[in-house]
Amino acid sequence: MNPTLHAILIFLQTWWVELVSGVVIVAVVPLVAGYLVLMERKLMADMQARLGPMRVGPHGLLQPIADAFKLLIKEDIIPADADKLIFWLAPVISMVAALTAMGAIAFGPAFQVARDINVGILFVVGVSSLGFLGIILGGWASNSHYSIIGAIRSTAQLVSYETAGGLAIVSALLLSGTLSIRGIVDAQQKSGAWFIFLAPVAFFTYLVASIAETNRAPFDLPEAESELVAGYMTEYSGFRWALYFLGEYANMIVVGSVATTLFLGGWLRPFPNVHWLNWIEYLPAFFIAIVGVYCIYRAGKQPVAIQVAFMWAVALACFAIAAVLAAPWILHVLHKFGVAAPLNLDFTVPGLNGAFWFLLKVSVYIYVFMWLRFTLPRYRFDQLMHLGWYILIPLAIVNVLAVGVALLLESALGWNRWLAMVVTTIITMAFALFLVHLHDKRTAAASSAAAVTTDSYAG
C-alpha cells in the first residue's frame, strides 16, 4: 500500500468524528445564525407593535436564505485606500474564531466536536476573544474615520469586559474544580444545584460582560449605528459584511453556551437528581408535539395552498422530532402491551434530551440579550468604561474572593455549603451597593463641576 495513502487513512480513522462534526458546524451554524437574526427581527417586531418580515415564505421563514443569497450576489467593494489583504482577512478571522470556539462546546453529553479538552472553557474563552482581532483589523484596514473609532472602542471594550467576564468564570471554576466542560456540568449535577444559584453575582457579572463582548446593545458602541454609521464595518458590504454579521451571532451562541455550561447546568434538566421528576425528560417531546398540533390548527387558516402545505410539513417535522425524542418511552409502552422491543433505546435519553435542554437554555440566554436590546438606550463610551472598571471588575474580584472564602468555610470549618454561599453572596451584594453608591457620588460631583462653567455669550 502507498504509505501516503496509508497515513491519510490512519488520520481519517483517528479523526473522522471530529472532521465530520467540524463540517457539520461549518454548515449548520451560519444557518442557525441566520435564523437567530430572523428570530430577533420577529421578536423586535412583536415588541414594537409591527409584524416584521412577512414576505419571503410563510411569516418570513425563508427570509434568512433570501438575505444570504442577496448578500452573496452583491458587488464586492473594497475601498481604494484600504489595506486589501487585511481588509479581506478581517471578517474571516471574526467568523473562524466564533466557529472554532463552537468546536469545544458540548451541546449535550453526546454532541461535541472536539473530544473533551481538559482546558475546555479556557479554550473557548480564548478563541472567541480572537474574534475581536477581526474587528480591530477590519476597522483599521478600512481606512475610514468611522471604522477606526469603532475599532478603538471595541479594543477598549474587550480589555475592560473580558477581565470582568474572566473573573466571573473563575468563580464558577472554583465551584466545579475543573476546566473541562463535561467536568463542570458533572460538578453541577453532583452539587445538586446549578451554579447560578450558588454564585448569582458571578452569573450576573458574566451576563453583562458577555453582552459587552458580543457588542450587543446597550454596549454596542463599536458599531453604534446612530453615531458611527456602522462602526468597524462601515466600509464592508456584501458577503464580507455578512461574515461579520454571522460572526456576531455565532459569538452570541458561544457566550450563551459558556453561560449555560458554567451557570445554568449545561444539558442537565431542571432538578437533575430528583427521581420522581423523571417525567420531565419527556416534556421536550410533548412540547414539540404540541407545536405540531398547533401547526395543523393554523394550517386550516392559511390563505394560500403553499402555506397550508408548509404548515403541514412543519407539523410532520415536529411529530418526527417528538417521536425520536420519545422513542425509548414509546418502546416501553409497546413492551407493556406485549410487543417485543427490537432494541433498547434508553441510552439515547440523556443524549437527545440533554441537547434539547442545552439549546433551550442557550435560547433563553440569547432571548434576554435581544430583550435588553429592544428596551435599553445605549451607554456612552465613558459611562461604559466607568461601569466596567469602577463597578464590574471590583465586584467580580470581590466575588471570586467570596466564593473562595465560602469554599474554605465549607471545607475547613464544616459549614453547610448553602449557608456559606448565602452569607458570602449577601456580603458581595452589599459591596455592590457600596460601589453603586460611590459611582453615584462621583457622577454627582462631576455634574456639579460641569454646572459652574461660565458662558461666553452672555452680556
Partner 1 sequence: MGDTLQEEAIKNGGTLLGADELVLNMGPQHPSTHGVLRVKLKLDGERVRGTECVIGYLHRGVEKIAESRSYQQFAPYVDRMDYVAAVSNGLGYCEAVEKLLNVEAPPRARVIRTILTELQRIASHLVWLGTHAMDIGAISPIFYCFREREEILKIFEKYCGARLTTHAFRIGGLQYEAYDGFEKDVERFCLDFERRIQEYVDLLTGNSIWMGRTRNVGVLNTADCIALGASGPVLRASGLKWDLRKAQPYAAYDQYKFEIPVGTNGDTYDRYMVRIEEMRQSRLICLQAIEKIPEGAILGKVGKVLKPQPGEIYHSIEAPKGILGYYIVSDGTTQPYRVRIRPPSFVNLQAFDKMVRGHLVADVVAIIGTLDIVLGEVDR
Residue 458 is a binding residue for partner 1 (CB under 8 A): yes
Under DSSP, is residue 51 helix (H, G, I), strand (E, B) or coil? coil
* DSSP secondary structure code for residue 115 in this structure: -
Assign residue 270 a region: left if phi > 0, alpha if psi is -120 to 50, beta otherwise? beta
Q: Which of 36, 93, 167, 228 binds partner 1 (CB under 8 A)?
A: 228
Cβ(288)–Cβ(321) below 8 Å = yes
Q: CA end-to-end span of the chain, whole Å?
A: 97
Asked if 447 touches partner 1 (CB under 8 A), the answer is yes
The Cα 180–Cα 442 span in angstroms is 42
List 276, 279, 337, 457, residue binding partner 1 (CB under 8 A): 457
List the beta strands (DSSP E) in 68-219: 106-108, 111-112
Nearer to partner 1 by Cβ, of 65 and 385: the residue is 385
Closest separation in Å from C-beta 181 to partner 1: 34
Q: Which is nearer to partner 1, 156 or 349 (CB)?
A: 156
User: Which residue lies nearer to partner 1 by CB, 39 or 199?
Assistant: 39
Closest by CA to 151, choosing from 210, 218, 217, 231, is: 231
- Does 443 participate in binding partner 1 (rule CB under 8 A)? yes
Instruction: Evaluate whether 373 touches 216 at the Cβ level (below 8 Å).
Output: yes
Q: How far is the CB of 81 from partner 1 (least distance, A)?
A: 15
The type of residue at 165 is G
Question: Is residue 155 within the footprint of partner 1 (CB under 8 A)?
Answer: no
- Binding residues for partner 1, rule CB under 8 A, total 43
For residues 172 and 167, what is the distance between their CA atoms, to the nearest angstrom?
A: 9
47 binding partner 1? (CB under 8 A): yes
In the list 146, 204, 249, 369, the residue contacting partner 1 (rule: CB under 8 A) is: 146
Asked if 182 and 110 count as a contact pair (C-beta separation under 8 A), the reply is no
Complex with partner 1: residue 13 or 448, whichever CB lies closer: 448
Q: Of 35 and 390, which has the nearer Cβ to partner 1?
A: 390
Using the rule CB under 8 A, which residue among 110, 229, 368, 435 binds partner 1?
229
Q: Of 354-413, which residues contact partner 1 (CB under 8 A)?
A: 373-383, 385, 389
Q: 106-119 in b/e burial notation, b at 16+ Cβ within 10 A?
A: bbbbebbbbeebee
* Interaction site with partner 1 (CB under 8 A): 44, 47-50, 145-146, 149, 156, 217-218, 220-221, 224-229, 373-383, 385, 389, 443, 446-447, 450-451, 453, 455-459
